[in-house]
Structure 1
Amino acid sequence: MSIEKLLDELYSYSLHGIKLGLQNIEKICSAMGNPEKDYKIIHVAGTNGKGSTSTTIENVLIESGKKVGKYTSPHILKFNERICANGEEISDSDIAYYYSYVKNIIEKLGITPTFFEVTTAMMFKYFSDKKMEYVVLEVGMGGKYDATNIVDADICVITNVSLDHTEFLGKTIYEIACEKAGIIKKNSRVVVGSSEPDFIRAIEEKTSNYTNVISKYKDATHKLDFEKFKTYINIGNESYEYSLFGEYQYKNFLCALEVFKMLGLPEDIIKKGVSQTVWQCRFEIIKKEKLLILDGAHNEDGVKTLCETLKIGFKKEEIVSIVSILKDKDSNGIVKKLETCVGDIIFTSLSENKRGQSAKELYEQFENKNNKQYYEDIKIAYETAKNFKDKKVILICGSFYLLSKFKEEVLKNEI
């Protein structure tokens, strides 16, 4: 079977939808001999910032000489991005082998797992066979009933909580925080990146053994460099050059830094590792003339923190944004936040995705259509954005599916 057909078969498990619960993954992992117990786990949850924090931790641990696996989602361009060993994406041949291995177990067990459960099982076994020392494990959604949560993590990181996936996780910050705090186990050391009272209440109901980096590093300072697009951070006598850029990346950095402190990593290794971290589609600079930015902000909190960065470096009138938003997100809330820092918005389509909307559907949701237009074709939307003579920045945001589509349909022909 070709890798394309194999991945189509693997993606077909998505038809089973999202099923929060641990029964399937527990059965599969038990049948595999519980490979998830073969390495130390750093478990990362949170509404936003999971991927950046996970990748920073991964990069510094590799720099320190450890054998490190990382599991993240979603992917942008190809499935292989989800499972990385020592910074290298899983190969097509290994995807085929581990999918076949897990599929055989599923058939023997007579269960119907989801796409994420199958992928998670493949990852656990792959990292065991690769003899990883550490695995940085990003939660798919929530925490308590997420398929990754059969592990007994050494360190748990919960970056933040905002209202997202409310149909699955709860209607309030406290309810969602309780779900995310579900990754905390009896002996876990815990790092959190928010002081929101309902969030902290949920954490303290699970453990008193946690470090709030916002409180611990309250005297730290940071500065954004809009020429090099780096984040410079000062903590006491130490200075760090963080290669991930943005106001929101500062808190992600602090979460990762606290993990390094818990692991006793030396400062020179930390500084080198954080200066070389790369994570696509998080304020990713594609072109500097005119500035083309791709950012994975896809909920109100993500757009709010993105705008905090943009407001520091640019005037509202200097930015045009190409946007598409999934049906299950709060389009109105997201666009209202975006309008605080963006002068013009061009809606485009993700209607090929079962959760996506057409450009016209998005456009017609807004009574105030000033500075808004729509083009179903993403290439036309981009050409229109480029023709704004007074703009310094083109921003692509609203969904990771949009960023993937933009890279595949527009960038591959341009760069």
Structure 2
Amino acid sequence: MNYATAIEHLYALGHELAPKPKGSNAPRRKFDLAHMRALAEELGNPQRSFTSILIAGTNGKGSTSATLASILKSAGHSVGLYTSPHLVRVNERIKTSHDGAALRDIDDDTFARLYVRVDDAAAKLVQENKLPHAPSFFEVVTAIAFLAFAEAGVKMAVLEVGLGGQLDATNIVDPILSVITDISLDHTEWLGDTITLIAGEKAGILRENGIMITLPQHADANRALGEVAVAKNVTGINAAEYLPLRSNEAPRKDAANHYSVRVRNEDLAVDSPLAGSHQQRNIALAIATAVALDAKGITISNAAIAEGIRTTAWPGRLQRLTLQGRDVLMDVAHNPAGAWALRSYLSNTFQGPQTLVFSSLADKAVAEMAQILFPLFEEEGGRILLAPMNNPRAATAEQLSSIATELDTKAEVFADVASAMTAALSYGPGTIVVAGSVFLVGEVQALIDRGEWTA
């Protein structure tokens, strides 16, 4: 099976969170770790061949994962990084590095070969009634990642949890430690409609007598995490000591975080390409995790921490580029917390008229995100452009337009993202901000990669 066919088969599995077809009475798929464990066992339990770090949370888990993997890479460890979702190609979810080289996506041939192996194992389990149905998209890709890391001889794997924690497919590993980033309301249909319930799901990645690295946050989240940690005799590590007392520099349009922190009684210069003050929390978590790993015998020097932070690559997060001579800022901002972070960054960094290209998934808090972001673009000369994404979960043009009407906001509605971007690029001066969903940023990036617009 070639790569294109493997991808076609993979997407035919459907997305676990996709809305049910209209009129369908079929129950939603239930997550069950027993299914993932059965699949992994059939594959020889590849996840047992490397040391794992699990990272869960609502916001910042991807940035924390990318930063930590970069630190491990800079320390010379053979490292794997598993994240989700991807922006353009599914290969982005699975990266490896050896001998300090840059993290690289899994190649097409390896992905296709491992897909066949996972698919064959799953079909055998279904035939033998050891699985009630074929694995989900996420379960299959997670299994491919485990196999890829095992084959590549990865020693350390940084695994970003996909959804929640307790029942996530990544949670079949036995992590050396667990990291929990900021928690807020998201995926409430699946995880619960309160911070307490969601935090309880995230706490599912904690292990008996294990280690939890986190930061003080919402009181309900602190309480829920603390209760689980006490019940499991978990040692908690507070990453707050690695937050800057204050930024050494005012916010800059070059989108960098520059400051110093004390790490193991030494000054460490943080020079991160990840923009926004919110990233300081994610960087602190990565530093704390690196220090904890070093204490467990996984050597990571302060120099490796600084170098790893400096060389972190995590596109789509306050990412700046130029298209047709226009300044463009792309940020996934996929929930209210992310929208507030983007709003803070824009308020402190940009002046003058700006154009917003906005879209979102229908199952997100679209109205709340719009309420947070739209006012910044209602100043004289500002524009708001709305368009549905090419995604089964996407909010429709009508839904987006209705939200703008309810907020008494003037907005232009387009049939698709490409049309909205083309219009934005044709308008007057000012920055174009693309925000509202990982899938929106990914769709725009795919169009850029195909040469839709010139730099």
TM-score of the superposed pair, with normalisation by structure 2: 0.86
Cα deviation, residue 127, structure 1: 0.9
The aligned amino acid for 1:204 is G
Cα deviation, residue 371, structure 1: 3.4
Give the Cα–Cα distance (whole angstroms) in 2 for the partners of residues 28 and 134 of structure 1: 22
Conserved? CA contact 1:363–1:369, under 8 Å: no
The aligned amino acid for 1:361 is Q
Could you tell me which residue of structure 1 aligns to residue 202 of structure 2?
A: 180
Give the number of equivalent residue pairs. Answer: 411
| 1:75-117 deviations in Å (ceiling 9; x for gaps) | 1111111111111111111111111111111111113211111
Give the Cα–Cα distance (whole angstroms) in 1 for the partners of residues 306 and 448 of structure 2: 35
Answer yes or no: is 1:301 the counterpart of 2:317: no
Match of 1:64 among 42, 54, 75: 75
Could you tell me which residue of structure 2 aligns to residue 378 of structure 1?
A: 417
Cα deviation, residue 63, structure 1: 0.8
The aligned amino acid for 1:92 is D
Give the Cα–Cα distance (whole angstroms) in 2 for the partners of residues 21 and 249 of structure 1: 33
Conserved? CA contact 1:247–1:306, under 8 Å: no
Give the Cα–Cα distance (whole angstroms) in 1 for the partners of residues 418 and 242 of structure 2: 44
Could you tell me which residue of structure 2 aligns to residue 203 of structure 1?
A: 225
Could you tell me which residue of structure 2 aligns to residue 114 of structure 1?
A: 136
Report the 3-state secondary structure (helix = DSSP H, G, I; strand = E; otherwise coil) of the residue aligned with 2:270: strand
Report the 3-state secondary structure (helix = DSSP H, G, I; strand = E; otherwise coil) of the residue aligned with 1:137: strand
Could you tell me which residue of structure 2 aligns to residue 322 of structure 1?
A: 357
Cα deviation, residue 15, structure 1: 5.7
Give the Cα–Cα distance (whole angstroms) in 1 for the partners of residues 90 and 242 of structure 2: 37
Answer yes or no: is 1:234 the counterpart of 2:251: no
User: Is the deviation greater in 58-67 or in 226-235?
Assistant: 226-235
User: Is the deviation greater in 247-256 or in 133-142?
Assistant: 247-256
The aligned amino acid for 1:371 is K
User: Is the deviation greater in 43-52 or in 28-37?
Assistant: 28-37
Could you tell me which residue of structure 2 aligns to residue 192 of structure 1?
A: 214
Report the 3-state secondary structure (helix = DSSP H, G, I; strand = E; otherwise coil) of the residue aligned with 1:205: helix
Conserved? CA contact 1:221–1:234, under 8 Å: no
Match of 2:169 among 136, 147, 168: 147
Give the Cα–Cα distance (whole angstroms) in 1 for the partners of residues 435 and 16 of structure 2: 28
Could you tell me which residue of structure 2 aligns to residue 12 of structure 1?
A: 12
Cα deviation, residue 385, structure 1: 2.2
User: Is the deviation greater in 230-239 or in 327-336?
Assistant: 230-239
Give the Cα–Cα distance (whole angstroms) in 2 for the partners of residues 378 and 34 of structure 1: 42
Answer yes or no: is 1:406 the counterpart of 2:444: yes
User: Is the deviation greater in 261-270 or in 114-123?
Assistant: 261-270
Cα deviation, residue 397, structure 1: 0.8
Give the Cα–Cα distance (whole angstroms) in 1 for the partners of residues 136 and 147 of structure 2: 17
User: Is the deviation greater in 289-298 or in 113-122?
Assistant: 289-298
Cα deviation, residue 379, structure 1: 3.1
Match of 2:112 among 70, 90, 96: 96
Give the Cα–Cα distance (whole angstroms) in 2 for the partners of residues 46 and 194 of structure 1: 13
Cα deviation, residue 171, structure 1: 0.7
Answer yes or no: is 1:220 the counterpart of 2:245: yes
Give the Cα–Cα distance (whole angstroms) in 2 for the partners of residues 65 and 334 of structure 1: 41
| 1:194-242 deviations in Å (ceiling 9; x for gaps) | 421111111111225112323x346632245424321012224332111
Conserved? CA contact 1:292–1:394, under 8 Å: yes
Give the Cα–Cα distance (whole angstroms) in 1 for the partners of residues 38 and 32 of structure 2: 12
The aligned amino acid for 1:284 is Q
Give the Cα–Cα distance (whole angstroms) in 2 for the partners of residues 59 and 305 of structure 1: 23
Structure 1 segment 265-284 matched on structure 2, within 5 A: 265-284=300-319
Answer yes or no: is 1:81 the counterpart of 2:103: no
TM-score of the superposed pair, with normalisation by structure 1: 0.94
The aligned amino acid for 1:404 is G
Report the 3-state secondary structure (helix = DSSP H, G, I; strand = E; otherwise coil) of the residue aligned with 1:221: coil
Cα deviation, residue 51, structure 1: 1.2
Conserved? CA contact 2:3–2:112, under 8 Å: yes
| 1:260-285 deviations in Å (ceiling 9; x for gaps) | 11123211111111111111101111
Change (3 A) 1:224 1:144: farther
Give the Cα–Cα distance (whole angstroms) in 2 for the partners of residues 79 and 248 of structure 1: 27
Cα deviation, residue 341, structure 1: 3.2
Conserved? CA contact 1:225–1:232, under 8 Å: no
Could you tell me which residue of structure 1 aligns to residue 274 of structure 2?
A: 244
Runs ≥4 residues deviating over 4 A: 15-18
Give the Cα–Cα distance (whole angstroms) in 2 for the partners of residues 16 and 270 of structure 1: 36
Q: Which consecutive unaligned segments of at least 5 residues does structure 2 have?
A: 18-28, 98-102, 295-299
